[in-house]
Structure 1
Amino acid sequence: MIVSNTKKVLVVTSSILGNQGQSRALAEHFKASAAKRGDVQVTERDLVAEELPHLGLAELSSWQVATEERTPEQRELAARSDALIEELLAHDVLVLAVPLYNLGIPSQLKAWFDRILRAGKTFRYTANGPQGLVEGKRAVILAARGGQYAGTEMDSQTPHIKTMLGLIGIGDVEAVFAEGLAMGDEHREQALSEAGQAIDAVIDRV
């Protein structure tokens, strides 16, 4: 049996600014650094280019129906979540490139989380509380912010993401911050440079 040492990385981006977004720049740096190694395979999901609708009752209800009993509409709705979960499970490392919008995550990213945080699929309820079913995965948060929030009470974003990942069993989570990006050109360039170095170090550990 041949065992591959290739690490599969899923990069999820969610900047509404597209290629002009600073979180996108962090993702591009990650991809470029990973490309220099022969043992890292990167897949990207752009949640703005392939935007998911807000989760609605019909889609939520489709998950509760046995596969063989679903209507054609329910099969189509359930397939959306199934495909995203299968994609996540097929990768070793999850990289979330996340801008800070009004102290929270983009609604596009929330729509993605709403479909991968799924009882019975990625976590289950037990007498001792929720138990994650996604095992052996790592996650990296690439956070781009106009101000400086890391380590303060105003950073409600990072704990939220870590809690959601922890729900499904991903507890090995590392964050790289590029902050103060709206505080002048010199500060922005320094912050992006330092974040780039931190990303390179993350790649070395993948």
Structure 2
Amino acid sequence: MAKLLYISANPKGPEKSKGMQIGEAFLQSFSEEQPDIEIKRIDLFQLDMVRMDAELISARGKLAGYGMSFEDLTDQEKSKIIKMHALAEEFIKYDYFVFVTPLWNLSSPAVLKTFLDNLFVTGKTFVHTANGPKGLLEGKTAIHIQTRGGLYTGMPMAELESGDRYLKIALRFMGIRVLDSVIAEGLDAFPKKAPEIVEETKARAIIAAKEMARKPVVI
């Protein structure tokens, strides 16, 4: 049975978040194509994650760069590296990933960066080779649903958008196939048109979900 991880990063919750409403339309459409899909939802604003602080950076350096063992870590370092690896191992169990985020100040909410930081684990999601890093999560597929207050696509502001761009880079680094993002923009620039924009984006999300569900994954 295939598994899908739905990752949202919006403190408003599904009732007020336009992006999450679009995300629900995506999930319903995906489920219609794959009725047996196992879906898990996680809210990054509620998820207990370790952050890249001095202890976690030290632990990673000792294990990777300096070739030390787990027993050489301090108790605090052990606790944080265990938590980090557990999150990465949980992520690896899934076949499909749906990220739903708003664009805040040209990027994504900081909790998304923290989440991605926890996934960069050597030997689990990527390895170093003579030709550079190689992602280990090939055969998995991801898509990003993003809401934007302003207009970016085809506009001068496009080059300043770094939320969708960075997420795609991070996922591809880990070997994940990333599909074209589903974007709703102009929600703040044209507030009276927001309902129309959301409905139009839901329609595109439904199509994208069907296409994603029909793409084979390696299980």
TM-score w.r.t. the length of structure 2 is 0.82
What is the RMSD of the two structures over their aligned residues, measured on CA atoms?
2.1
Matched ranges for 1:1-206 at <5 A: 6-19=1-14, 20-36=16-32, 37-63=34-60, 64=63, 66-67=69-70, 69-151=72-154, 152-205=158-211, 206=213
Which segments of 5 or more consecutive residues in structure 1 lack a partner in the other structure?
1-5
CA deviation profile, 1:92-127 (whole Å, cap 9, x unmatched): 111110110100111100000111022332112222
Quick one: which amino acid aligns to residue 178 of structure 1? A
Q: Quick one: which amino acid aligns to residue 112 of structure 1? A: F
Q: What is the CA–CA distance in structure 1 between the aligned matches of 2:82 and 2:186, rounded to whole Å?
A: 40
Distance of aligned partners of 1:40 and 1:198 in 2 relative to their CA distance in 1, 3 Å threshold: farther
Change (3 A) 1:112 1:200: same
2:197 & 2:162 partners in 1: Cα distance? Answer: 20
Alignment check: 8 A CA contact 2:23 2:100 kept = yes
Question: How many Å apart are 1:9 and its aligned residue?
Answer: 0.7
Q: 1:47 to 1:67 in 2, by over 3 A?
A: same
Cα deviation for residue 30 of structure 1 reads 2.7
Residues paired across the two proteins, number: 201
Residue 27 of structure 1: how far off its partner (Å): 2.5
Q: Which amino acid aligns with 2:141?
A: R
In 1, Cα distance between equivalents of 2:106 and 2:143: 19
TM-score (norm 1): 0.86
Secondary structure at the residue paired with 2:179? Answer: strand
Distance 1:118 1:173, change over 3 A: farther
Provide the identity percentage. Answer: 29
Q: Relative to structure 1, is the Cα distance of residues 51 and 26 closer, same or farther in structure 2, using a 3 angstrom cutoff?
A: farther
Q: CA deviation at 1:185?
A: 4.1
Distance change (3 Å), C-alpha of 1:78 and 1:53 = closer
Q: Which residue of 2 aligns with 1:3?
A: none
1 or 2 for the larger relative contact order (CA 8 Å, sep ≥6)?
2
**Distance in 2 between the 1:183 and 1:129 partners?**
43
Supply the AA of the counterpart residue of 1:15.
Answer: N
Q: In structure 2, give the amino acid aligned to 1:26.
A: I
Structure 2 portions without partners, runs of 5+: 214-219
